[in-house]
């Protein structure tokens, strides 16, 4: 498959696109949770691996390399579009964090679902960037502590500590905003 990339002909790109498009699209949807953005990133991935073919060293194993290129492209896309996206768009995220520390009845009595999401998002923005990333990866992307540690190049214990600190901070401050 790697020979197809180095040939640099349009037929080769079509073959790559036909064989691996669904893989790349699936990875992108899982990462972004948005089909339109995933489509855009998928196109960018194939353009990236195509232009120019000599700009990078081709690996021995194609699929893991394609996955890494895709994840990097997703991260780049999300960084570029951070301002236009809500940091945590999913409503379930606020529920995951708050229900772990507060009774649902106590929360429901004071805030509607949209208000909870806004309150959690505002509180998360008060946390250090490193902690925000750990929280997003753990709750939104459902990564394990080890996966987060590898992804952000932190020690396992640091990731665990960051998540515990975030939970305590959110529980403490969310209670104050509820009252």
CATH number of the domain that residue 28 is part of: 1.10.1740.10
CATH of the domain at 117: 1.10.10.10
91 has a pLDDT exceeding 50: no
pLDDT in tens, 153-165: 888 999 999 999 9
Provide the pLDDT for residue 79. 81
Provide the pLDDT for residue 104. 58
Residues 76 and 103 occupy one common structural domain: no
Cβ(141)–Cβ(117) under 8 Å?
Answer: no
pLDDT in tens, 37-62: 889 999 898 888 876 555 667 678 88
Q: How many domains does the chain have?
A: 2
- Which of 23, 58, 80 marks a domain boundary? 80
Residues 112 and 173 occupy one common structural domain: yes
At 88, is the pLDDT very low, low, confident or very high (cuts 50, 70, 90)? very low
Residue 86 within any structural domain of the chain: no
Residues 121 and 68 occupy one common structural domain: no
Residues 75 and 97 occupy one common structural domain: no
Query: Torsions phi, psi of 13, nearest 5?
Result: -65, -40
Residues 113 and 61 occupy one common structural domain: no
Residue 111 within any structural domain of the chain: yes
Torsion of CA 166, 167, 173, 176, to 10 degrees: 180
Residue span of the structural domain in which 40 resides: 2-80
Q: Determine the length of the chain.
A: 179
Residues 101 and 155 occupy one common structural domain: yes
pLDDT more than 70, % of the chain: 68
More confident position, 100 or 22? 22
Whether the model pTM is above 0.75: no
Work out the burial of residue 103: count CB atoms within 10 Å of its CB; fewer than 13 is exposed, 13-18 middle, 19 or more buried.
exposed
Provide the pLDDT for residue 47. 84
- Which of 80, 104, 121 marks a domain boundary? 80
Provide the pLDDT for residue 158. 92
């Amino acid at each position: 498959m790697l020979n197809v990339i180095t040939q640099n002909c349009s037929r080769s790109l079509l073959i790559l696109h036909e064989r691996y498009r669904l893989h790349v699209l699936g990875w992108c949807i899982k990462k972004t949770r948005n089909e339109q953005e995933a489509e855009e990133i998928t196109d960018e991935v194939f353009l990236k691996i195509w232009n120019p073919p000599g700009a990078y060293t081709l690996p021995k194993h194609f699929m893991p390399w394609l996955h890494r290129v895709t994840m990097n492209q997703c991260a780049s896309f999300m960084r570029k579009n951070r301002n236009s996206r809500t940091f945590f768009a999913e409503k379930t995220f606020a529920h995951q964090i708050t229900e772990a520390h507060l009774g649902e009845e106590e929360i429901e009595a004071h805030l509607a679902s949209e208000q909870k999401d806004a309150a959690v998002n505002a509180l998360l923005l008060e946390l250090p960037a490193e902690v925000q990333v750990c929280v997003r990866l753990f709750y939104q992307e459902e990564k394990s502590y080890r996966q987060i540690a590898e992804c952000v190049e932190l020690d396992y214990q640091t990731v665990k500590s960051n998540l515990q600190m975030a939970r305590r901070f959110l529980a403490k401050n969310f209670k104050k905003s509820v009252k």
